Amino acid sequence: MNKFLDAIRQADSIGITGHVRPDGDCFGSCMGLYNYIKEQFPEKETLVYLEKAAPEFSFISRSNEIRHTPDEKEYSLFLALDCGSSDRLGSFLPLFEKAGKRIVVDHHISNTGFGQENYVDLTASSTSEIIYTLLEEEKISRKSGEALYLGIAHDTGVFKHSCTTKRTMEIAGKLMELGIPYSQIIDQTFYQKTYVQNQVLGRCLLESLLLLEGKVVASCIDKKTMEFYGAESSDLDGIIDQLRVTKGVSAAIFLYETGFREYKVSLRSNTELDVSKIAAYFGGGGHKKAAGCTMSGCYRDVLTNLCQHIGAAMEQEEAMGN
Ligand SMILES: [Mn+2]
């Protein structure tokens, strides 16, 4: 018997939440655990709290039971999943703070250990992978398995990112044996795009520019164009990744206008170039190969400014022999 499941057994009421703007892993880990508890411990009062997630995730069992707003309940156990720090809980933080026992399950390097018990594994591909290892394998149902598979597939970029390990693949394999619709989960939640999303992607690719002698590709979309297509900011996910795979480029830049002369900037690197440093210079942050910031000015000025810094950083890299 493990300590994690003991905490669940000992609790009368259990609350689960993840981070603000839930992604596939946040949603998958919360719902994987929620379905497991509902099936194995039906006598317990269990609820899951999450902000509204992508509608494509709603095929996951019991999604209709998710609470989107906090309440006054005091739980004997509250679990925070896929959150590096307590501020990531957003409006659900008070529920976590009031609970008798607070457990954190996460895989972010930045995790602050804000729970009383912290199951933090930096080598795990995803929080969904950690949840799988904390549960009793033979009791994981197809319903719970679908959610965990969704989470693992999303955080690994469909088993592609460097966080994917042999263990990740073994767990995914065991989940497949439950009879889950693994192709559909990936197609419908990861690759499928709406007509508007495809239109906007096409437009951004069409209008992209090669800069710094072809080492950088950049594109931008303004508010007017987004309104024309009826696109939301969430419809722009994935455009930067398509730009990044342009053959021969070291870095990709994508800008979208969020306010008058204000742009949200996404940066990606294919080389040793550390884009988190570029983003940090402009008040943002992120990872070495994926980062972002917000910048003001007209489109041309923002792009020129970024290219100056990226160009200088590339020269430095070259001088260091990378
Ligand atoms: Mn995650």
- Report d(CA 19, CA 150) in Å as an integer: 16
Q: How far is the CA of 155 from the centre of ligand 1 (A)?
A: 6
Q: How far is the CA of 123 from the centre of ligand 1 (A)?
A: 12
List CB-based neighbours of ion ligand 1 within 5 Å.
25, 82, 126-127, 155
Report the DSSP pairing between strands 13-17 and 45-49.
parallel
Q: How far is the CA of 255 from the centre of ligand 1 (A)?
A: 25
Q: Which domains does the chain have, with CATH numbers?
A: 3-191 (3.90.1640.10), 196-319 (3.10.310.30)
Q: How far is the CA of 223 from the centre of ligand 1 (A)?
A: 30
Cα-based torsion angle of the residue sequence 81, 86, 92, 94 in order, rounded to the nearest 10 degrees: 130
Element (H, E) at 243: helix 239-244
Q: How many CA atoms lie within 13 A of 136 on its CB side?
A: 12
Does residue 307 or residue 321 have the better pLDDT? 307
**How many Cβ atoms are within 10 Å of 187's Cβ, its own excluded?**
13
Q: Are 269 and 217 in contact (CB under 8 A)?
A: no
User: What b/e readout covers 75-108, taking b as 16+ CB neighbours within 10 angstroms?
Assistant: bbbbbbbbbbbbebbbebbebbeebebbbbbbbe
What integer pLDDT is reported at residue 53 of this predicted model? Answer: 94
Angle at 139 between CA 135 and CA 143, to 5 degrees: 95
Q: How far is the CA of 190 from the centre of ligand 1 (A)?
A: 15
> Mind spelling out the 3-state secondary structure of 256-301?
EEEECCEEEEEEEECCCCCHHHHHHHCCCEECCCEEEEEEECCHHH
Q: How far is the CA of 13 from the centre of ligand 1 (A)?
A: 25
Binned at pLDDT 50, 70 and 90, residue 46 comes out as: very high
- Report d(CA 31, CA 16) in Å as an integer: 9
What integer pLDDT is reported at residue 322 of this predicted model? Answer: 63
Alpha helices, H only, 177-222: 182-186, 195-206
> Mind spelling out the 3-state secondary structure of 164-184?
CCHHHHHHHHHHHCCCCCHHH
Q: Is the pLDDT of residue 286 over 90?
A: no
What integer pLDDT is reported at residue 246 of this predicted model? Answer: 97
- 64-120 pLDDT per residue, tens: 999 999 999 999 999 999 999 999 999 999 999 999 999 999 998 888 999 999 999
Q: How far is the CA of 318 from the centre of ligand 1 (A)?
A: 33
Q: How far is the CA of 317 from the centre of ligand 1 (A)?
A: 30
